[in-house]
């Protein structure tokens, strides 16, 4: 059952102050061996969390802390920070509580987790689910962390193993920014659930590369979440069996949410951006290079999607693949040198507008539409003002490429 998200402002709140008993934010020092902070009172991060008041800062010395850290709902505005960036390592213990999460923001608001290395792997299959998780109506800033080996040992086909999770079975909100997430089992970053929301910005997310073990997704937005996914570098999410796709950015079953995917660099994924059964998604100004299957995919009843201003180059199959999608706009994209078609429209796709795209030098056709209806050239969609050389059917509209056009390679 989804829990209601708390509607308190996502801002720091100072402690209450009275004339007789003056409370001010404190800094609690944590040092596993007392070598850096000789005055530290705590050798574990969880002990400091337990002792902290809302608004306090916990400063952690470099070292390895083999423990699970849980921030409960009465610890709002807590900051947990590594004194030396990435040198304080929070490592999964042999057993975790039922959340199976190494660092868990469990209902607290405005918690900051900054500069840690958070690492697995799990001690047994299915024993580790999440590296950093924000759940139960909580909110957090997840900043500049390295989250690695959130997986079974060795990597398995289990659907656990998520680097950073916001939401899940309960809603939550977060800023997830500047993190390096790699060596995960299922997904690098997931924002999930009705009323969950996040800014996912300037992270580097690296999958395992081509594997037959599990279909990985770099960043996933699902089940009604709102998200802005911007400025991320996502690579290496490739599933070799033919029955299921992996994706750099995956928006799935997100009919109730609103998602902006913008200014990301995606390379070497199976699908660069994959949208399934979702609406109100804007995919703008991304660079999608070297996808092993398709660059951008709209599929399975998606509706009202905007695909604009993207550069989609050297995909193994199609640059932009539109299947069973309606009422969407594909415009002002640069699509070239893909293995099959530049823009490929099929299935029950209808009432889509495909215009002002530059689509050239693709393997089979630059433009392809096998739908039937009252649209352009007998298709169910409207095509116009595209710059291309080959199409099926003929007459999809736009400027047919002239071999003497000096601008056809100018913006590569």
| pLDDT tops 80 at residue 402 | no
In DSSP notation, 104-165 reads EEEB-SSEEEES-EEE---SSTTS--EEEEEETT-EEEEES-EEE--S-SS--S-S--EEEE
In DSSP notation, 382-403 reads EEES-EES-EESS---SEEPPT
SS3 assignment, position 79: strand
DSSP type of residue 330: E
Closest to 253 measured CA to CA, from 190, 317, 180: 190
Confidence of residue 409 (pLDDT cuts 50, 70, 90): very low
- Whole-number Cα distances in Å, 27 to 4, 30, 56, 109: 32, 10, 6, 18
pLDDT of res. 169: 87
SS3 assignment, position 368: strand
The dihedral sign for the CA sequence 119, 254, 107, 173? positive
Digit-coded pLDDT (tens) for 99-114: 999 999 999 999 999 9
Question: Residues near 366 by Cβ (< 8 Å), separated by ≥ 6?
Answer: 335, 341, 342, 343, 359, 360, 388, 389, 390, 391, 401
pLDDT of res. 222: 97
Confidence of residue 23 (pLDDT cuts 50, 70, 90): low
266 - beta bridge partners? 234, 288
CB 387 within 8 A of CB 366: no
Closest to 219 measured CA to CA, from 153, 147, 119, 155: 147
pLDDT mean over 274-301? 98
Please state which of the ranges 3-7, 320-324, 336-340, 399-403 shows the lowest mean pLDDT: 3-7
Average pLDDT, the chain: 93
Digit-coded pLDDT (tens) for 152-165: 999 999 999 999 99
| pLDDT tops 70 at residue 287 | yes
DSSP type of residue 17: B
Output the six-digit token pair for 152: 């079974």
| pLDDT tops 80 at residue 403 | no
pLDDT of res. 348: 97
| pLDDT tops 60 at residue 68 | yes
117 - beta bridge partners? 89, 146
Report domain extents, the chain.
84-400
SS3 assignment, position 171: coil
End-to-end CA distance of the chain: 49
Output the six-digit token pair for 329: 């706009």
Question: Residues near 403 by Cβ (< 8 Å), separated by ≥ 6?
Answer: none
Predicted TM-score (pTM) of the model is 0.92
pLDDT of res. 46: 98
CA dihedral 204, 209, 213, 214 (to 10 degrees): 40
CATH topology of domain 84-400: Pectate Lyase C-like (2.160.20)
């Amino acid at each position: 059952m989804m829990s209601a998200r708390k509607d308190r402002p996502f801002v720091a709140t100072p402690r209450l102050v009275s004339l007789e008993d003056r409370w001010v934010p404190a800094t609690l020092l944590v040092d596993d061996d007392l070598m850096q902070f000789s005055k530290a009172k705590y050798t574990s991060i969880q002990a400091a969390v337990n002792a902290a008041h809302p608004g306090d800062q916990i400063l952690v010395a470099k070292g390895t802390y083999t423990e699970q850290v849980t921030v409960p709902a009465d610890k709002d505005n807590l900051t947990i920070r590594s004194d030396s960036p990435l040198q304080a390592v929070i490592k999964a213990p042999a057993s975790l509580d039922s959340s199976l999460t190494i660092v868990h923001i469990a209902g607290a608001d405005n918690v900051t987790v900054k500069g840690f290395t958070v690492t697995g792997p799990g001690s047994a299959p299915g024993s580790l689910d999440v590296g950093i998780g924000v759940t139960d109506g909580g909110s957090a800033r997840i900043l500049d962390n390295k989250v690695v080996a959130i997986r079974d040992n060795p990597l398995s086909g289990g659907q656990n193993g998520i680097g950073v999770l916001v939401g899940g079975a309960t809603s939550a909100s977060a800023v997830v920014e500047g993190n390096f997430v790699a060596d995960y089992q299922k997904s690098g970053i997931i924002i999930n659930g009705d009323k969950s929301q996040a800014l996912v910005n300037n992270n580097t997310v690296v999958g395992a590369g081509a594997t037959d073990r599990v279909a990985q997704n770099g960043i996933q937005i699902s089940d009604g979440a709102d998200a802005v996914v911007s400025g991320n570098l996502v690579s290496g999410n490739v599933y070799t069996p033919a029955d299921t796709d992996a994706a750099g950015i995956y928006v799935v079953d997100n009919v109730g949410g609103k998602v902006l995917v913008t200014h990301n660099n995606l390379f070497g994924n199976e699908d660069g951006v994959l949208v399934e059964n979702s609406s109100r998604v804007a995919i703008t100004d991304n660079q999608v290079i070297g996808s092993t299957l398709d660059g951008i995919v709209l599929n399975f009843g998606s509706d009202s999607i905007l695909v604009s201003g993207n550069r989609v180059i050297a995909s193994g199959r199609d640059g932009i693949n539109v299947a069973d999608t309606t009422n969407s706009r594909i415009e002002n994209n640069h699509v070239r040198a893909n293995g099959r078609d530049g823009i490929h429209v099929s299935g029950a796709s209808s009432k889509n507008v495909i215009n002002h795209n530059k689509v050239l030098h693709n393997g089979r056709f630059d433009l392809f539409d096998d739908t039937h209806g009252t649209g352009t050239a007998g298709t169910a969609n409207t095509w116009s003002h595209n710059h291309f050389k080959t199409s099926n059917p003929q007459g999809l509209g736009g400027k047919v490429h002239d071999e003497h056009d000096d601008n056809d390679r100018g913006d590569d």
